[in-house]
């Protein structure tokens, strides 16, 4: 669920992991949330972000929030529960069309991001992956939703991704406010908690999802921004016949790539399309001996998405395995 998951993205951890900081290492199927109560207060920007990633999984809460973006201002009701190690998140819009998003499951593991010896849950994999892609910096304190907050700036080290600014609750490390920033540092979207109702640390374990294989397709992107690696794809509902889909992420930004035949369907106009805070680059190309529609979607600069769709290759059968990603 993007509205809450946008607050769960990762940052680099150059020093120790949470397990090392607490002296307690989780097993490969669960994470003990009680470790958060015992862990010392973070001292670095990386430490604060790592704590916030785990806090998002381990705190039970209800909240009210506001989202300000290209489609105007929307208010939401949010909740996060844990039952028998399974998380359940719900986001419900309180104005405009009645829309509700729900996610239920275990902590996902990210493909190709875990390093040997690192905790294989998403937060640990993320914090080890983003070093060299973003710069993290603490920028003082503020007051958000009546609570003391620590500000964390996340600045990309190239022009192929957007920046983020976070305000983390000092008591829990839960994100109280997040801003997505364009290349000029202007806010594209602001997501802010206006009321956080008595967050409670779950004194049990949260399950880690089994590892999933990355989807196999006969095509591949010939170019991706540095740090973007293939991720497992979970498709909800029925997918149109002939559509193939791959997902790539750098631990903070996500890129979805779709390819489908042009025949017998309503086509999208080639070019750049605005989809709320995201963009989509669409191109019609001859691939695999057929005309196809190629579409890349994500919270990335439009020219980056355009370069991705232009780079897609459909190697002949028996061609060499997929080349390394992230070429300049």
Nearest to residue 136, comparing CAs of 196, 65, 51? Answer: 51
pLDDT of residue 124: 67
Rounded Cα gap, residues 5 and 176, in angstroms: 13
User: Are 118 and 97 spatial neighbours (Cβ–Cβ below 8 Å)?
Assistant: no
At residue 112, the pLDDT reads 57
pLDDT in tens, the chain (328 residues): 333 444 333 322 222 333 333 333 445 678 889 989 988 989 989 889 989 999 999 999 999 999 998 878 999 999 999 998 899 999 999 998 888 999 888 776 665 555 433 444 467 667 778 888 999 999 999 999 999 999 999 999 999 999 999 999 999 999 999 999 999 999 999 999 999 998 999 999 988 777 666 778 899 999 999 999 988 766 554 566 678 899 999 988 999 999 998 875 677 899 999 887 789 999 999 999 889 999 999 999 999 999 999 999 998 765 544 444 443 3
CA dihedral (63, 36, 6, 214) positive or negative = negative
Distance (Å, rounded) from C-alpha 320 to C-alpha 313?
12
pLDDT at 217: 87
Hey, what's the torsion of the CAs at 83, 89, 94, 96, to 10 degrees?
-140
* Residues 141 and 150: beta-carbon distance below 8 Å: yes
- Strands 244-249 vs 229-231: parallel, antiparallel or unpaired: antiparallel
Nearest C-alpha neighbor of 17 from the set 4, 6, 26: 26
């Amino acid at each position: 669920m993007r509205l809450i998951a946008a607050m769960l993205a990762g940052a680099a951890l150059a020093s120790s992991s949470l397990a090392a900081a607490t002296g307690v290492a989780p097993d490969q199927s669960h994470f003990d949330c009680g470790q958060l109560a015992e862990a010392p207060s973070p001292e670095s920007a990386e430490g604060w972000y790592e704590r916030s990633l785990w806090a998002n999984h381990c705190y039970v809460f209800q909240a009210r929030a506001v989202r300000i973006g290209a489609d105007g201002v929307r208010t939401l009701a949010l909740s996060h529960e844990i039952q028998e190690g399974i998380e359940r998140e719900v986001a419900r819009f309180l104005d405009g069309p009645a829309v509700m998003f729900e996610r239920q499951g275990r902590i996902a593991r990210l493909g190709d991001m875990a390093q040997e010896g690192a905790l294989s849950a998403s937060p640990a994999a993320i914090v080890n992956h983003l070093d060299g892609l973003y710069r993290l910096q603490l920028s003082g304190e503020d007051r958000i939703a009546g609570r003391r907050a620590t500000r964390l700036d996340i600045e990309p080290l190239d022009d192929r991704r957007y920046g983020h600014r976070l305000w983390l609750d000092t008591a829990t490390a839960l994100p109280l406010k997040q801003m997505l920033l364009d290349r000029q540092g202007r806010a594209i979207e602001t997501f802010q908690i206006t009321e956080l109702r008595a967050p409670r640390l779950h004194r049990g374990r949260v399950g880690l999802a089994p590892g999933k294989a990355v989807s196999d397709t006969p095509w591949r992107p010939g170019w991706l921004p540095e740090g973007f690696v293939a991720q497992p794809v979970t498709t909800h509902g029925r997918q149109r016949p002939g559509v193939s889909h791959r997902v790539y992420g750098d631990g903070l930004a996500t890129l979805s790539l779709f390819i489908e035949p042009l025949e017998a369907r309503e086509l999208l106009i080639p070019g750049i399309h605005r989809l709320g805070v995201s963009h989509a680059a669409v191109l019609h190309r001859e691939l695999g001996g057929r005309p196809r529609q190629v579409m890349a979607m994500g919270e990335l600069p439009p020219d980056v998405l355009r370069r991705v769709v232009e780079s897609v290759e459909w190697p002949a059968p028996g061609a060499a395995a997929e080349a390394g990603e992230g070429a300049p």
